[in-house]
Structures are given as C-alpha cells and as structure tokens.
Amino acid sequence: MTIEEQLSAAVATANALTGERDDLRATIEKLTVGASAELESLKVEAAAKDAKVAELTAAMEAMSADLAGFKAKATELEQTQVSASKQAAVIAASVGITPTALPQEGEATKEAVNHLATFLSLPVGKERSDYFAAHKAAIIKAAI
C-alpha cells in the first residue's frame, strides 16, 4: 500500500469511528434524558402518594377521635339506661296502679319452658291450637 492509500484508509477508519462514537453518544443522551424524565415522573408520583398517605392518616386520626367520642357517649348512655319494665312500673305507679314484678330472664319455671318448647315443636294446626288453649298462661309466661 502506498502512503496515500494508507492515509485514505486511516481517514475512512477515523470517520467510521467518529460516526460510531456520535451514534453511541446520541443513544446515551437519549437514555439519560429518558431516565431523567422517568425519575422526575416517579418523584412526582411518590410525592402525590405521600400526600395521599398524609391525608388518609389525618382522616384516620379524625375517625379515631370520633370513635373515642362515640364510645364515651355509648358508655354514658349505658349508665343512664332504664329497662322497659322499670319504666312501665314508674308509669303504672304514676296513675295509681301497683306494679307487679314479672319473672325476669332465667327465672321462668322449668314447666313453663317445657310448655313453650312443646308448643313450638307442634305442627301448625288444630293440635297446636288445642295445646295453646290448654296451657295458654304457662306459654305466655315463658315467652315473656
């Protein structure tokens, strides 16, 4: 090879390497700009999620405060609760009638509970009606 041919080959090789370098540089810049844009969008997204978490945390704290208030109110109402039978006795006494204590839950006699269970186990019809007529007081007493 002559010197001119060697020079031409070297210039061609240098031009090819320069073009390849420029292509690589452009690719890297695209990746860098794309990665930067993606990073920025991820930062914005993370900030939005952080704001939402803070908002939800504040809402949870407000609901916890409301719940504590509701629990306190429920406790207060339970302490001032009057049973229906006591209220009925007060009303009856206010009109001059002497109230009579009815058996409370768990105080029903075994016989009355048996009458009620027997009545409920009978099929609807004449047999059940006859049983109710015969044991009406005990069934009603057990049902109360």
Residues 41-70 have a mean pLDDT of 94
Eight-class DSSP state of 80: T
**pLDDT value of position 106:** 57
Residue 99 confidence (pLDDT): 65
Question: What's the average model confidence in pLDDT over 55-84?
Answer: 90
pLDDT score at 17 = 93
Residue 1 DSSP label: -
State pLDDT tens for residues 10-49: 999 999 999 999 999 988 888 887 788 888 889 999 999 9
CA 131 to chain centre: 49
Residue range 85-141, pLDDT digits in tens: 778 888 888 887 776 666 566 555 555 457 888 888 888 889 889 989 988 888 888
Instruction: Determine the pLDDT at residue 67.
Output: 94
- pLDDT at res. 38: 84
| Residue whose pair of structure tokens reads 């006591």 in the numeric block | 86
What whole-number distance in Å separates Cα of residue 108 and Cα of residue 2? 126
Extents of the domains making up the chain = 1-81, 84-143
Cα(143)–Cα(116) distance, rounded to whole angstroms?
A: 7
